[in-house]
Structure 1
Amino acid sequence: MESFISPGLVLSLVFVVIGIFIIAKGLVIVRQSEVMVIERLGSFNRVLESGVNIIIPFIERPRPITMIRYVRMGEDYHPVTSDEIRIDRRETVMDFPGQPVVTTDNVTVKINGALYYQIIDPRRAVYEVANMSQAVEVLAKTTLRSVVGKMELDKLFESRSEVNNAIQAEMEEPASKWGVKLTRVEVQDISMPEEVEEAMRLQMAAERKRRATVTEAEGEKSAAIAMAQGQRESAILNAQGDKESAILRAQGEQESIRLVLSAMGDSEDNKQTVIGYLLGQSYIKALPTMAKDGERVFVPYESSALLGSMGMFRELAGSPDDAVRQSLRRDGLRGGLVGSAADA
């Protein structure tokens, strides 16, 4: 018995196969943090979010986006271009190779940078620019040259954060038109010519030597100031001591005179006698100082009167009053010295 397949069954199988193919082609699973831009008959239709999505085969198709990534091979970086239908919305880093940049002081440096960006509008990233990643890279390089070209070499090393912020600020507006958000820009390495590095090393050595010299000079200055302050305080204390000693000595002499006058009486003649004694005593004390300046001492005529007054005072002071004797001893007057002066 001959077996045959009916045309209806064959047609059903064909439709089943076509249905399975359509379902397989139209069923799209989008992973988390990814999106797909769908075109219908060549025009933008919608953006597929994460999850299970269905498209119409042969009528709807995803629009790919061109991405450039650098792969390190040895010591150099080589760009790798790929067309991707799934657009990653996570933060992406672009580590572009070193770029030669000329500073304001005409020094050529090679700067290697890293750019962190995120696609926030997939439609703009696909339709507003032909090659989004290449456009961002070229924009970063040109902005880097523009910002660094306004700075000197020393300023460049001191303010990397300012360079990063300036590059990011200048790139934000054009990048936003492409649906890209710049999160961070980092200047990684700065390479200089060997002669420039040698000059900088010499400059740093000279700067350290200068700082050491300044520090040593400041130390010597502080020591000199401290020594001067110590000498000044010592002089002040010595002067205060001399002042107090002179005051006490004057008070003692005043008390001695007061005791002598009280013992001799307060008459005018006694006062003149005491005054003559004091003048004679001062003259005798000054004689050693006068003798230091030469081998001979010339005694003036008036000195005999002073010495006579001292002899007279000795006779008047011969009373047995103990207070007067103590006053005379305290003033350093010896009976023999007064007597010899009076005889002279």
Structure 2
Amino acid sequence: MNELYFWLVPIAVIFFLLTSMIHIMREYERAVIFTLGRFDKVKGPGFILVIPFIQQLVRVDLRTVVMDVPTQDVISLDNVSVKVNAVIYYRILDPEKAIIQVEKVHDATSQLAQTTLRSVLGKHELDEMLSERDSLNADIQEILDKQTNAWGIKVANVEIKHVDLDESMIRAIARQAEAERQRRAKVILAEGEQQAAAKLVEAAKEMTESAGAMQLRYLQTLSDIGNEKNSTIVFPMPMEIIGPILEKLKK
């Protein structure tokens, strides 16, 4: 029994040392190696040996991270309170900076994204938040990318997902949209009447310059009246038609 314990202890120590020394990094992983507390190198992917008690290893994932930015209360430039949430896409490009320059790199990126979202959207009016999301996404992405560059992070994209309004603001926007539609309808109607009046003036001018055209229009009007179901029709005779007849009668 004592002999068994005598062999088990060395085997356990050897097994512990081997598990501490041997590490395998996947294709999307890198190992940041510290030797006696000082940064040594970045290794991986593949098989890596680490000296126990002398070297320490920190794993870093290089895959793109999709992070939801929690809903933020934002006051727009025109003093409208809205709730906005977004999603950011980023990845670690420099494992050394991501480990050495900042503690808990993912938490730091999330907090920075929240403050940047409030700061950028607070400089714009509500209409711009609703209609110019692509421009706002680009602005937020550019600011985040510059500030996280020191952490070895590349922010690839930012997307604003929802801009939520309270019920009173939704009703106010609906009334504003209805008023805008009515304004456009009135403008279109007025423009149509203006164009019709211009055409009528042009037609009247042409008919006054040609007696034949005036007579043809008069006869067309009589034809239209005759098609109506009226018992009595009273209409004046123009002098252009009566004049020649009276002159012949006098002769």
Query: TM-score, normalized by length of structure 1?
Result: 0.57
| Map of 1:233 onto structure 2 | 206
| Map of 2:158 onto structure 1 | 185
| Map of 1:91 onto structure 2 | 64
| Map of 1:117 onto structure 2 | 90
The letter of the residue matching 2:177 is: M
| Map of 1:48 onto structure 2 | 43
| Map of 2:24 onto structure 1 | 29
| Map of 1:326 onto structure 2 | none
Cα deviation for residue 44 of structure 1 reads 1.6
Cα deviation for residue 46 of structure 1 reads 1.7
Higher gyration radius (CA): 1
Query: How big is each residue's C-alpha offset from its partner over 1:29-59, in whole Å with a ceiling of 9 and x where there is no partner?
Result: 1011111212222222221211111111232
- Quick one: which of 129, 133, 136 aligns to 2:109? 136
The letter of the residue matching 1:53 is: I
Cα deviation for residue 153 of structure 1 reads 1.0
Cα deviation for residue 157 of structure 1 reads 1.1
Q: Which is further off, 98-107 or 40-49?
A: 40-49
Q: Gapped runs of 5+ residues in structure 2?
A: 215-242
Cα deviation for residue 183 of structure 1 reads 0.6
Number of aligned residue pairs: give it: 216
1:219 correspondence with 2:192 = yes
The letter of the residue matching 2:142 is: A
Cα deviation for residue 20 of structure 1 reads 4.7
Q: Gapped runs of 5+ residues in structure 1?
A: 64-85, 243-288, 293-331, 338-344
Q: Which is further off, 192-201 or 224-233?
A: 224-233
Residue aligned with 1:220, SS: helix
The letter of the residue matching 1:46 is: K
The CA RMSD measured in Å over matched residues stands at: 2.8
1:47-66, aligned counterparts within 5 Å?
Answer: 47-63=42-58
Larger RCO (CA under 8 A, 6+ residues apart): 2
Query: How big is each residue's C-alpha offset from its partner over 1:86-123, in whole Å with a ceiling of 9 and x where there is no partner?
Result: 32112111112210011111111110111111100111
Query: How big is each residue's C-alpha offset from its partner over 1:148-205, in whole Å with a ceiling of 9 and x where there is no partner?
Result: 1111111221211111111122222221001111111111100112111110011111
1:241–1:161 CA distance, 2 compared to 1 (3 A): closer
Q: Distance in 2 between matches of 1:134 and 1:24?
A: 30
Question: Identity of counterpart residues, as a percentage?
Answer: 37
1:198 correspondence with 2:171 = yes
The letter of the residue matching 2:88 is: L
